């Protein structure tokens, strides 16, 4: 990750999000109730999952395009 060396961070023990070492408190879950932290964690997880599935979709499209180009090159 490009952030290494620039900002040292560690995962928050409460919400699991990355927190800068310089922060005295987690800025993500500071002042939130336990229930709100649960929702924060869940939405963060869903967000990561959506990003991953988008990446996988892009990867498959690229693979398909590469496959067809290779096929065309072999045919002609
Ligand atoms: Zn936190």
Where are the domains positioned within the chain?
9-75
* 60 alpha carbon – ligand 1 mean position (Å): 35
DSSP for 37-62, please give it. HHHHHHHHHHHHHHHHHHHHHHHHHH
Question: For residue 20, is pLDDT > 70?
Answer: yes
* Per-residue model confidence (pLDDT) at position 7: 66
In three-state secondary structure terms, 35 is helix
* 55 alpha carbon – ligand 1 mean position (Å): 26
* Per-residue model confidence (pLDDT) at position 8: 83
pLDDT tens for each residue of 41-69: 999 889 888 989 999 999 999 999 999 99
Q: What are the distances in angstroms from CA 25 to CA 22, 59, 60?
A: 9, 38, 41
* 59 alpha carbon – ligand 1 mean position (Å): 32
Q: What is the pTM of this model?
A: 0.55
* 2 alpha carbon – ligand 1 mean position (Å): 22
How confident is the model over 17-29, as a mean pLDDT? Answer: 91
Under a CB-based contact definition with an 8 Å cutoff, are residues 29 and 18 in contact? Answer: no
Instruction: Report d(CA 68, CA 76) in Å as an integer.
Output: 12
């Amino acid at each position: 990750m490009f952030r290494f060396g620039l900002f040292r961070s560690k995962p928050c023990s409460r919400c699991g999000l990355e927190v800068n070492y310089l922060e005295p408190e987690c800025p993500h879950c500071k002042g939130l109730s336990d229930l709100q932290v649960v929702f924060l964690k869940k939405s963060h997880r869903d967000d990561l999952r959506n990003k991953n599935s988008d990446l996988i979709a892009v990867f498959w499209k690229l693979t398909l395009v590469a496959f067809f180009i290779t096929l065309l090159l072999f045919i002609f």
